[in-house]
Amino acid sequence: MTRKQRRNLLRILLSLCLLAVCVTLDRTGLLARAGRAATPLAYLVPYLVVGWDVLRRAVRGIVRLRPFDENFLMAVATVGALALGEYAEAAAVMIFYQTGEWFQSWAIGRSRRNIAALMDLRPQVARRLLPGGEEEEVAPEEVAPGETIVVRPGDKVPLDGIVESGTSTLDTSALTGESLPLEAGVGTEVMGGFVNLTGTLAVRVTKPFGQSAVAAILELVENAAARKSKHENFVTSFARVYTPVVCGAALALALLPPLVSLTLGAAPLWQTWLYRALTFLVISCPCALVISIPLSFFAALGGAGRAGILIKGSVCVEALSRVRCVAMDKTGTVTAGAFAVTEIEPYGMDERRLLMLCAHAECDSTHPLALCARAAWGEPIDRSRVTDVREHGGHGVTARVDGLAVAVGNAALMRQLGVELPRPDDGATVMHAAADGVYAGRLTFADSVKAEAAPALSDLRRAGVRRLVLLTGDGEGAARQVGEALGFDEVRAGLLPGDKVRAVEEMIAREEAAGSRGQVAFVGDGINDAPVLTRADVGFAMGAVGSDAAIEAADVVLTNDDPRRVAVSILLARKCMRIVRENIALALVVKALCLALGAAGAAGMWYAVIADVGVMVAAVLNALRALRVRAVCPSAKTDRKETT
């Protein structure tokens, strides 16, 4: 509890004890024997101890010409009860009301802790390395790209950068939600907000603090609450109209029945109807509705944030809950985004010799496929075995390896050299090799599919997603291979960024034509996919915490590369919306019933306040369920960071 919560809880307990003493003295007749003023003055003590701030806020609202809120309702009801001589009820109503307020404050504080944990990512200091080898402690904002900082064990990494020296283990969970630590060495990219656990690192800064991953996430979290959902706007508008209406209804309840009785010649019973009107006011307090709806969204945003799912406000939660069609980019989303040798087909030699010839011939090339070939060889390149290296732009290389005339490249290079291919490429990414003019074999390359991709699609189908589409700029052959392996309903290949936007627009139009309220989501890497991320009903930026384009364009940012979190996000949003609807129904039904009972005189003020506080407590407890972001999909990761 905060200091204020502890103080308020002490006030409630003290007031409750004082009320018990007053009731005891009243029933034994001691207060009556002390004089007529003793009873109201005695009950006034516990009433003011617990309720003085409610009265103050009510008066301030009246002075500012904005009186119609829960403080006004409670002040009028309890002061009216005191005026009618219902001293114990007035004090008890205020105690119960403040108990509900305290409980609400505690619940909000609990949900805020998840947001606060994210805000604690902000590093306070950076150790800048000076030319003489000395260290200078400065604010992270003062460190420029290109400068070197020192990160000691236990420190937060203050800025994004690349490790220049040292090895260590980094805790990335606060930023990515990933429980496994990152083993960092020379050349490892690190982000601000990671926590250094073991060794000392020297990190060359690559981005100023304002463009770092942690700064982008902090800005997203700070601004998320500003994007309100339709349900939150409804509650705000409802409360603005509801409070004056119930005040008018209470006034009518206090005046009209007695006036009708006077007209008919019967006793007016002013006190009875005034008491019913005050009870009506207590029951009408809209706390459960006004508090629990925003709290449900706030809890969902906070819990998701701690699990590495950053959602830009409750309006995005609403849209997420209606997603029925998901389009995905291929590279970096369902595949690892890095080519590797997947098949070796030698002709007239063994696999190792074919790999050796390709790797040595490509020893000077920086082409991605050349790098993959050398990685597949896995041994140091002996350059003394290689001579006469010649680059053929866009086709490949020729060289002499161990005296052999070796050519490595695409089919066009083979045709240019008069080497006959045994079969066509069939759309695959292939590196051909020839030795002394004779075909020697081929290496097939592919972007490896992520192990989580297939379970992610299964989870999406179980989550109610009706259609899964793969949108990629890659060639038809590679795209079809990945799409069929993973079970996409549709594959579109060879798309430019504008083509992806048009494809998503077609999907949206199809949903609208079918009369469906389903939303279309797009999942991409957040950089070249920024236009389509913006156009989709819901845009997911995957593993793109370091990209300003991703933070700006996407509605949801997944801070790691696990595509299973797309389904987790959708199910979390549906859970949140289910909680919101439950709370609205609970609050409105119980309020309507209690208002009717109060107006009929079947419910007294004690019953009214217990019902009011009870509904609010139930709604708040229900809202807190949105904090629990566990692996709602069977295949999703489970770790402590995902369970709040």
Contacts 24+ apart (CB under 8 A), 544-550: 545/175, 545/176, 545/191, 545/213, 545/216, 545/217, 546/160, 546/191, 546/207, 546/212, 546/213, 546/216, 548/211, 548/216, 550/525, 550/526
How many helices (H) and strands (E) the chain has is answered by 21, 22
Nearest Cα to 276, choosing from 600, 612, 611? Answer: 600
Q: Which residue has the tokens 């619940």?
A: 107
| Alpha-helical regions (H) of 424-516 | 453-462, 476-486, 497-513
- As a whole number of angstroms, the distance between CA 337 and CA 448 comes to 8
CA distance 399 to 54: 87
Please identify which residue in the block is written with the tokens 């990190």: 203
What length does the chain have? Answer: 644
329 is catalytic: yes
**Rounded distance, CA 441 to CA 431, Å?**
9
Residue type, 40: P
Structure tokens at 497: 């960024």
DSSP 625: G
Backbone angles phi, psi at 12, to 5 degrees: -65, -45
Burial group, residue 2, by CB count within 10 angstroms (0-12, 13-18, 19+)? exposed
Strand partners, 429: 445
DSSP letter (8 states) at residue 142: G
CA-CA distance, 555 to 540, in Å (whole number)? Answer: 6
Angle (deg, nearest 10), helices 230-263 and 314-321:
100
Tell which residue, 421, 430, 420, 377, has the closest CA to residue 401: 377
8 Å CB contact between 372 and 341? yes
**Other C-beta atoms lying within 10 Å of the C-beta of residue 325:** 23
Cβ neighbour number for residue 333 with a 10 Å cutoff: 27
**Cα separation values, 589 from 97, 199, 295, 584, Å:** 20, 60, 20, 8
Is residue 148 within 8 Å of 164, Cβ to Cβ? yes
Three-state secondary-structure class, residue 64:
coil
Tokens 């050796």 locate to 356
Which residue shows structure tokens 């384009």? 549
Q: How far, in Å, CA of 495 to CA of 524, rounded?
A: 13
Q: How far apart are CA 185 and CA 201, in angstroms?
A: 8
- Are the CB atoms for 431 and 419 separated by under 8 Å? no
Using CA atoms, how far residue 254 sits from 55, 73, 343, 363, 429, in Å, is 22, 15, 87, 94, 84
| CA distance linking residue 191 with residue 614, whole number of Å | 46
- Please identify which of the residues 69, 155, 171, 329 carries the catalytic annotation: 329
- The sign of the torsion formed by the CA atoms of 434, 440, 446, 452 equals negative
494 Rama class: left (phi>0) / alpha (psi -120 to 50) / beta: left
Q: Which residues are catalytic?
A: 329
